[in-house]
């Protein structure tokens, strides 16, 4: 299992997200279940660090509710980085 940030682990536990192992291109892969029971994989690209989702909404609009659900967690992570020693 890859190194997930504690905030992601905590949020995943609350929302029932499934943490997946890295693949060659993507890290922080997290499976989120939509309202209809569909499974979507949100992940961070290893090179450019951008986040992506496998759902149709993201492919069409470059944003979606699955990434929105993670946004607060990601913002907390960003805010935390400068004070990490
Ligand atoms: Zn999505």
Q: Cα–Cα distance between 26 and 21 in angstroms, integer?
A: 9
- Check: CB of residue 14 under 8 Å from CB of residue 30: no
Q: Give the distance (Å) from ligand 1 centre to CA of residue 34.
A: 9
Pairing of strands 51-53, 26-33: unpaired
Reported as a single tens digit per residue, the pLDDT across 29-78 is 999 987 788 899 999 999 998 889 999 999 999 989 888 888 777 777 76
- Report yes or no on 67 lying in a domain: yes
Encoding tokens for residue 61? Answer: 């609009």
Q: Give the distance (Å) from ligand 1 centre to CA of residue 43.
A: 10
Q: Give the distance (Å) from ligand 1 centre to CA of residue 85.
A: 33
Encoding tokens for residue 56? Answer: 């149709």
Q: Give the distance (Å) from ligand 1 centre to CA of residue 84.
A: 30
- Report yes or no on 79 lying in a domain: no
Q: Cα–Cα distance between 59 and 52 in angstroms, integer?
A: 9
Question: Residue 15 carries which DSSP code?
Answer: H
Q: Give the distance (Å) from ligand 1 centre to CA of residue 46.
A: 19
Structural domain range at position 24: 6-74
Reported as a single tens digit per residue, the pLDDT across 3-39 is 788 888 888 898 889 999 999 999 999 999 877 888 9
- Report yes or no on 44 lying in a domain: yes
């Amino acid at each position: 299992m890859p190194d997930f940030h504690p905030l992601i682990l905590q949020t995943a536990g609350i929302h029932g997200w499934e943490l997946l192992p890295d693949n060659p291109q993507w890290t922080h892969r997290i499976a989120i279940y939509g309202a209809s029971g569909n499974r979507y994989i949100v992940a961070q690209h290893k090179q450019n660090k951008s986040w992506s989702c496998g759902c149709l909404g993201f492919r069409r609009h470059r944003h979606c509710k699955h990434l929105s659900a993670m946004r607060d967690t990601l913002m907390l992570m960003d805010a935390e980085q400068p004070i990490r020693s």
